[in-house]
Amino acid sequence: MKRIIYLPFDHLHRNFGALKAADPKNDLIVLVESARMTTGRNWHKERLFFLISSARHFAQLLESEGFTVEYVKAATTVDGLKSIQAKHKKLPIICAEPSSFRQFAALQEFGVEFFENDFFLTPRPLFKAWADTQKSYLMESFYRKQRVRLNILMAGSEPAGGTWNFDKENRLPPPKKYEGSAYLEHKRDEIDAQVASEIGHVMTTTWATTRQGALAQLKNFIDNHFGEFGPLEDAMTTDNWALHHSLLSPYLNNGLLHPSEVISAAVKAFDSGRIPIESAEGFIRQIIGWREYVNGMYWFLGPDYRENNQLKAKRKLLPLFNDSGATQMNCIKETVSDIRERAWVHHIPRLMLLSNLALVTGTNPQEFLEWMREVFIDASEWVMVPNVIGMGVHADGGQMMTKPYAAGGAYISRMSNYCKPCVYNPKLRTGDTACPFTTLYWDFLDRHKETFAKNHRMSQQVFGLNRLSDLPELKIRAQEVLKGLDDGKI
Ligand code: SF4
């Protein structure tokens, strides 16, 4: 053996990262299951199960290809690597650049040599070169550059379909009693059963833990859901847990799928003429736009960015985030139950329900970030830090997004079927049955009106405060709501 290749649990692809040039004769492959990863925090069991079982299946796949694989358990990744190096003296350790600042620093200090991380379509220096020339880091500007650079959905130098953006077409509310096509169930094997028993998890069939399963998920999305994805991508309904979302983010984020594979399948389906442009554009925007942008911003904004708290939000994490029984808000109750069941809800409940609630209640951004990291199956550090600190709770003072994503009950009522059976009324902002979102939206604007008055994208909303004749009454109700939320009674 000439080299040790260290394979983090999110680099599980044979053709990318350090493995792409690996050779069974010369390279010893090492995976480390660290106690920090498994027991350090209150991780969702579904998430742990998915990450560990995927890694063990991948190790088995490499062995079947003739590689020697060492899968070790240790207190930390570096401890695991030390134990391997003790056995294989003087072999250098190589790895593709890790996906978080902390792991990057720990491995660098230990002397690991890095390859470029190619698990994204945009190299980190290329993103930096773009960001360095921007006044405000608009995702839309980045996305258009990506479309041109990667030549995706282009008709010559113009966007296919005559426009870059089909957001207007992609904002339909959920149809009544919507069933949609079924989602895949994934069979379990001995490795799955072993992991589940080690971590005390009751196995579900929701998420694949193999490359084969991830590819089946991609095929199922392209064949059965892609065409209808776009118009319903923002809708929320209790009738169908995923609508037409792809459910591919866990596999993209742990390496079982590479974004180029997903894009190539999507473009092929669109070129066949059976996918409407609004669905094709909406989905491709998520992969080559949002996903790349968020990863780029994570590295561009630096390691201290996650500590931002520019709105000085101090509230402790509300009990409802960990206990759906601690609230009467139907939208939150349903969402938190769904997360318990599958470690997943789509981007709109994450942004417009959970983050919106954390934002308007003034919940401490770091406490909320830690919770989001723990409960979602796809919650890599690089995903969650910009999405929560920048987009979700506007804790960065607008470095990433020009305005906060605060909304009252009217938006949730329009885009979901949560409100009808709820004890609260989305139209009311005062009184015992006022929707907490509606009350707290105005209270939030009022609390921060000096800051937001300077923001031209917020001036209209702040101006709306002047038209509220019941503002004093609303402020009293807001205090009751915040206390009720703290006590798990609202
Ligand atoms: Fe949520 Fe308010 Fe609608 Fe109830 S009324 S479901 S709390 S948005």
Ligand 1: residues with CB < 6 A are 329-331, 409, 412-413, 418-419, 422, 424, 426, 435-437
In the reported structure, the alpha carbon of residue 362 is separated from the centroid of ligand 1 by a whole-number distance in angstroms of 18
Q: How many CB atoms lie within 10 A of CB 310?
A: 15
In whole angstroms, what separates CA 254 from the centre of its chain?
A: 12
**Best substitution site from 422, 432, 440, 489 to test ligand 1's pocket, by max atoms within 8 Å of Cβ?**
422
Domains and CATH numbers, the chain: 3-115 (3.40.50.620), 124-301 (1.25.40.80), 307-486 (1.10.579.10)
In the reported structure, the alpha carbon of residue 318 is separated from the centroid of ligand 1 by a whole-number distance in angstroms of 17
Q: What is the pTM of this model?
A: 0.96
Report the pLDDT averaged over residues 299-319: 97
**pLDDT tens, residue by residue, 170-223:** 889 998 888 777 889 999 999 999 999 999 999 999 999 999 999 999 999 999
Exposure string for 291-308, b = 16+ CB within 10 A, e = fewer: bbbbbbbbbbbeeebbeb
Strand, coil or helix: 416:
strand
Strand, coil or helix: 363:
strand
| Residue 27 parent element (H or E) | strand 27-34
CA-nearest residue for atom 2, ligand 1, is: 435
- What is the widest separation between alpha-carbon atoms in the chain? 77
> CA neighbours within 13 Å on the CB side: how many for 481?
29
In the reported structure, the alpha carbon of residue 320 is separated from the centroid of ligand 1 by a whole-number distance in angstroms of 14
Query: What is the percentage of the chain residues whose pLDDT exceeds 90?
Result: 91
Q: What pLDDT score was predicted for residue 183?
A: 86
Atom of ligand 1 nearest to the CA of 330: 6
CA-nearest residue for atom 1, ligand 1, is: 331
Q: How many CB atoms lie within 10 A of CB 136?
A: 10
Which among 454, 458, 309, 312 is positioned nearest to 395, based on CA atoms?
309
CA-nearest residue for atom 8, ligand 1, is: 409
First to last CA, the chain: 62
Which among 221, 319, 305 is positioned nearest to 266, based on CA atoms?
221
Spell out the alpha helix ranges (H) of 343-458.
347-348, 356-361, 365-375, 381-384, 409-415, 436-447, 449-453
- Residue 197's identity, in one-letter code, is S
Q: What pLDDT score was predicted for residue 90?
A: 80
In the reported structure, the alpha carbon of residue 377 is separated from the centroid of ligand 1 by a whole-number distance in angstroms of 26
Exposure string for 331-346, b = 16+ CB within 10 A, e = fewer: bbbbbbebbeebbbbb
**202 close to 49: Cβ distance less than 8 angstroms:** no
